[in-house]
Amino acid sequence: MMSDARYLVRMNSGNDSLENIKVCQQAGVEYLIKRNLRKESKEEWLRLALERGEQEESRPGKEVWHGERYVERTGITGPLRIVYRVTKRTVEANGQALLIPKVEVESYWTSLDVDVERVIELYHEHGTSEQFHSELKSDLDLERLPSRKFQTNELVLLLGMVAYNILRLIGQESLNGDDLPMRKKVSRRRVRSVMQDMIYLASRVVRHARRLTLSFGRYSPWYDTWRRVYWRLVAT
């Protein structure tokens, strides 16, 4: 193990098998695996949610329940915890009424002892993690490594990691002020956007009084943000 901290193995429905649960139990790690419903009836899950689930607040035409249940499986130590969320839609988000209600079911195998809402939230964060991977591969063009030698590729990945972390730091720091020339308020910025707005910002190198300075255009929309982030990082 690389650390003494608790490990959480998070897998999608393509890895839904008792063998994976056994491996996690033997390794002593926590697991969160999205279940593949296979031939399970969504109507039965809806009935279970109505009887034992807890209803969430939602919009008109959409009802959501969440809950948990425990099942026994041969070859598995102790009862297995299943966390579920069931959604029943009679009206779509765009206002379209449905003749037949649409039922959606999410269910997860988990060894975590946290609240049901937190279990579901932890799995949904898997999508956020995938976005970070996408930025590293596409925005920094590291999807294909340049060499057949592992050591060379290792160095490229390390440099890419440093560049990615710096760009992420710049992007998050830029959000801490009220000088962003953006219409919508966002919680994070993609690496590609950071490069286009902050790194590719047009300027001219000027030599004066034995010093090199950057000269920006008078009407550069991102200058105030760039200047604030620059001095913040310099101070750090």
Residue 45 has φ and ψ, to the nearest 5°, of: -65, -40
pTM over 0.85: no
Residue of 140, 145, 147, 84 lying closest to 116 (CA atoms):
84
> What local confidence, expressed as pLDDT, does residue 93 receive?
87
- DSSP secondary structure letter of residue 146: S
Average pLDDT over residues 110-119: 94
Tens digit of each residue's pLDDT (9 = 90 or more) over 2-43 = 567 788 999 999 999 999 999 999 988 999 999 999 989 999
Residues 168-213: tens digit of each pLDDT: 999 999 998 888 888 788 888 889 999 999 999 999 999 999 999 9
Find where tokens 């009887």 sit: 51
The strand pair at 8-11 and 211-216 is best described as unpaired
Determine whether 235 is exposed, middle or buried from the number of CB atoms within 10 Å of its CB (0-12, 13-18, 19+): exposed
pLDDT for position 36? 95
> Do residues 119 and 32 make contact, with C-beta atoms less than 8 angstroms apart?
yes
Distance CA(115)–CA(123), nearest Å, equals 13
Q: Which residue has the tokens 């069931």?
A: 86
pLDDT tens per residue across span 57-102: 889 999 999 999 999 998 887 899 999 999 999 999 888 999 999 9
Q: Which one, of 101, 88, 86, lies nearest residue 53 by Cα?
A: 86
* Closest by CA position to 120, among listed 110, 128, 135, 130: 110
Question: According to the model, what pLDDT value does residue 1 have?
Answer: 52
Residue 207 CA to residue 205 CA, distance in Å, equals 7
The runs of H, that is alpha helices, within 97-198 are 116-134, 150-174, 191-194
